Amino acid sequence: MTPANKKRVLREMLFARRFEERCYEAYVERKIGGFLHLYPGQEACAQGVMEAARPGHDYVITGYRDHIHAIKCGADPKAVMAELYGKETGSSKGRGGSMHIFDVEHHFMGGYALVGGPFPLAAGIAKGLKMKGSDAISICFLGDAANNQGTFHESLNMAKVWNLPVLYVCENNLYGIGTRIDRSTAVVDQYKRVCGYDIPAAQVDGQDVEVVYQAAKTAVDHVRSGKGPYFLELMTYRYRGHSMSDSNAYRAKDEERMWGKRDPIIILRDRLVDAGEISLDDYKAMDTEILHQIESEIIKFAEESPEPSVDELEKYVLADNDPYVRGGVR
């Protein structure tokens, strides 16, 4: 990564952190409802992988912790926030909510709430890309606990058998809600589980965005060059509860402190400061500017946008006036 890129990456990760923290506040203010799963602590994962991929060109799909992945693909943060507010201007017109952000124009194929649901969908997108002769790849981000679903194994098997251009990224934050990985999962290192499908796999530090980027470059190149699927495991940690309804009482304080010291944003910031690329004052100015942007543009937009009309409650269930529904001879 060039110094200029590193500065941009730092800014984008800090933006992701502040965006999510602002969601937290809006939730407490009851502006956002439902389930809300936040990303702080894991920023280097989506960031590093998407630095190595082609955002807006490659297809990305993920679970319910999806705001930042959408934004990394090119979704407008205003539309994402408006979606959380349930507004008509939201990315899914207020019909989806936090767990169902979509931006198909930027090839962000959605957030899905069923743990493990996106595994086969990602393989299918890869199948379509292969049929069309596209050089885009399919990237699926999911958590560690999702790997205990049958869809994980079914999808890896099919992806390998059919040599599909799909990259599975496992953001291993060591927990599925309140259950620590070793209490639910026979083999704790997730990359090892993939060898049963003869798919190349790697495990790297998910807190250092440059490490993620390097590993993701290898992974993306492998998939894009037609060699088939790849599995990348990123060791990470979430700094908040699983969702807003999580008391977060199940984790040892020592463990939280240890990971707290490995904050992906601070790691990169300190590296840039040490290298003389930025000063701490630059960083503070960047932060102030981001906070201002979130307040004056993003929150303002979400607050001021209209809600969907109840008259359109039944829109989007099925296609409008699909000619083949009427039948006939052609």
Name the residue nearer to Mg ion (CB basis): 134 or 179. Answer: 179
Distances (CA, A) of 311 to 90, 307, 314, 315: 17, 12, 8, 9
Q: Which window, 23-31, 121-129, 199-207, 280-288, contacts other proteins (CB under 8 A)?
A: 121-129
Q: Does residue 302 interact with ligand TPP by CB under 6 A?
A: no
Count of residues interacting with other proteins (CB under 8 A): 56
Count of residues interacting with Mg ion (CB under 5 A): 5
C-beta of residue 277 within 8 angstroms of C-beta of residue 283:
no
Surface-to-core class of residue 51, CB atoms within 10 Å of its CB (0-12 exposed, 13-18 middle, 19+ buried): buried
Q: Does residue 41 interact with Mg ion by CB under 5 A?
A: no
Q: Does residue 64 interact with other proteins by CB under 8 A?
A: no
Could you give the maximum distance between any two Cα atoms of the chain, in Å? 73
Q: Does residue 143 interact with Mg ion by CB under 5 A?
A: yes
Alpha-carbon radius of gyration of the chain: 20
- Residue 248's region, left for phi above 0, alpha for psi from -120 to 50, else beta, is left
Q: Contact with ligand TPP (CB under 6 A): which of 7, 22, 78, 242?
A: 242
Q: Which window, 138-146, 205-213, 288-296, 321-329, contacts ligand TPP (CB under 6 A)?
A: 138-146
Q: Does residue 173 interact with ligand TPP by CB under 6 A?
A: yes
C-beta of residue 59 within 8 angstroms of C-beta of residue 224:
no
Name the residue nearer to other proteins (CB basis): 126 or 235. Answer: 126
Q: Does residue 128 interact with other proteins by CB under 8 A?
A: yes
The binding track of 169-188 with respect to Mg ion, each residue x by CB under 5 A or -, is ----x-x-------------
H or E, element range at 167: strand 166-172
Name the residue nearer to Mg ion (CB basis): 177 or 313. Answer: 177
Surface-to-core class of residue 320, CB atoms within 10 Å of its CB (0-12 exposed, 13-18 middle, 19+ buried): exposed
Residue from 111, 98, 100, 99 nearest 23 by CA: 98
Place of tokens 């890129």: 5
Contacting residues toward other proteins, per CB under 8 A = 59, 61, 90-97, 100, 102-105, 109-110, 112-114, 117, 119-129, 131-132, 138, 150-151, 154-155, 157-158, 161-162, 315-319, 322, 324-330
Would you tell me which residues interact with Mg ion (CB under 5 A)?
Answer: 143-145, 173, 175
**Footprint of ligand TPP on this chain (CB under 6 A)?**
65, 113-115, 142-146, 173, 175-177, 242
